[in-house]
A = this chain, B = another copy of it.
């Protein structure tokens, strides 16, 4: 549901593709409203995306609705990559989000002759793989407290500004990322607050200050 659009004549993927900003690929910006789908599982993968502002989640579903979120994408992150011809996840905007998109074909065209681009695509895919591998250990073997602690540490590093972590996602989203229920996530967060590991700043409980990161790290490992 693009609501706005803004073409750029030149180079423009940041982050991992920053080094390649000279590359002859063009990009377009789109805005997606909160809760809207950016692409669906099994759809043709014509573009790859970069979050400019906002937040995105990628998930898979079982036929009865159970959901597993594979990753949260925050500003600077690239997603929709490493797909073959079809997306293997569904991507949704968690909040109003601006993404930049690049035609997959144009990247591949460049990569066919430019080993630096090919290398960059490989690096991004490998980073992706690394994250997912670590998440597999979490999902397969960690306890609920360990999972929530790991989540907090991950997000604390990724979206803390001025000491405050402003979570864009709901408890349900967190739960579906961690392979838990939202109640279990809520209980773990409350327990951490009681232990003095963190503090909620607002009544909606999405602004958190981590007071004892090493305590959380010990709970994780």
Contacts and interface: CB of A to CB of B under 8 A. Distances in A.
Among A62, A83, A133, A140: residue with most chain B CB under 10 A:
A140
Contacts of A114: 115
A174 B217 CA distance: 29
Interface string A107-133: 000011111001101100110111011
A135 interface: yes
B82 A141 contact: no
A111 B121 contact: no
A207 interface: no
Contacts of A135: 136
A68 interface: yes
A171 interface: no
Contact of A132 (B89, B122, B136, B141): B136
Contacts of A84: 126, 130
Contacts of A83: 126
A85 B114 CA distance: 23
A149 to B, nearest CB: 13
Contacts of A128: 129
Interface of A: 60, 62-64, 66-68, 70, 82-84, 88-89, 111-115, 118-119, 121-122, 125-126, 128-130, 132-137, 139-142, 176, 178-179, 221
